[in-house]
Amino acid sequence: MSETRDAQDTHARHEYAELTGLMGLMTGDEKHGPAATSTLDVLWVLYDRVLRVGPDRMTDAGRDRFLLSKGHGPMAYYAVLAAKGFLPVDWLPGFGAYDSPLGHHPDRVLVPGAEIGSGSLGHGLPIAVGTALGLRAQGLDGPAVWVLTGDAELDEGSNHEAIAFAGPAGLERLHTVVVDNSSASHARPGGIAARFEAAGWSTATVDGRDHEALYTAFTVPHPGRPHAVVARVEPKSD
């Protein structure tokens, strides 16, 4: 069993090491490089170790749902989807071209595995709340709902309404990951996690480049409450 686990870990590290090469295949203007690289480790840990999704489960009602709200600069997202077999690697060099399915913001109709179209800041968390409510109404208690936002996105009022609703509603299957690269315009007393805690969420704040810390934060039990993970990365450079 130990040898099997070691082999799995080695394979995972090899796959992760290939991600920068996959991202390097995507060229062109308006790449939003810092926005992409800030999410790379969060996306990798989620897709490699946490999310119950796969190319063969895209229409499975029991799958987990991952919603990319931080949709500008989606190169890391596309690289992870390609590494996990959702889309062909040979799509990547065409990123952003007029005839490519891989636009500067993901389109759920064109990108295999994408649950929502990304673009407008502040829309992902409200959609995730609605998704969690819809699954609960259908009696589907297994699927987890995950949404990735940026710290600057939390300046949008729609997110504050979603946060305020989800806690008292006890949306236990709802998870938010906030990638904090210090790009928000408005400071929050007590930090980002305090906003979620005030609304009754479970929270964790971790190094957004530490895979083990991310995994631990993603999988901590939080009965009866939604869960938010603040993943701190280096400040945005441009």
Q: What is the pLDDT along the chain (238 residues), one digit of tens a residue?
A: 655 555 456 556 668 989 989 998 988 665 566 667 899 999 999 999 999 999 999 999 999 999 999 988 799 999 999 999 999 999 999 998 889 999 989 999 999 999 999 877 889 999 999 999 999 999 999 999 999 999 988 888 899 999 999 999 999 999 999 999 887 766 666 789 999 999 999 999 999 999 999 999 999 999 999 999 999 999 876 4
pTM for the model stands at 0.91
Task: Mark out the alpha helices in 46-185 (DSSP H runs).
Answer: 75-83, 124-137, 157-166
Q: Burial letters for 118-135: b for 16+ Cβ neighbours within 10 Å, e otherwise?
A: beebbbbbbbbbebbbeb
Domain 31-232 has CATH 3.40.50.970: yes
pLDDT at residue 36, as a whole number:
75
How many of the other CB atoms lie within 10 Å of CB of 173? 21
- Cα–Cα distance for residue pair 191/115, rounded to 1 Å: 29
Give the max Cα distance, the chain.
50
CA 177 to chain centre: 6
- Cα–Cα distance for residue pair 31/26, rounded to 1 Å: 8
CA 211 to chain centre: 14
Contact 89, 22 (CB under 8 A): yes
* Pairing mode of beta strands 145-150, 202-207: unpaired
CA 180 to chain centre: 13
Query: 16-33 pLDDT, tens per residue?
Result: 989 989 998 988 665 566
- Cα–Cα distance for residue pair 138/126, rounded to 1 Å: 19
How many Cα atoms are found within 13 Å in the side-chain-facing hemisphere of 65?
Answer: 29
Helix (H) / strand (E) element for 200: namely none
Q: Give the three-class secondary structure for 158.
A: helix
For 5, list phi and psi in degrees, rounded to 5: -65, -40
User: Which tokens is 86 given?
Assistant: 């959702």
Domain ranges for the chain: 31-232
Q: Which residues pair with 148 in a beta bridge?
A: 68, 177
Query: 111-140 pLDDT, tens per residue?
Result: 999 999 987 788 999 999 999 999 999 999
User: Which tokens is 207 given?
Assistant: 């190094």
Closest to 229 (Cα-Cα) out of 144, 156, 158? 144
DSSP 101: S
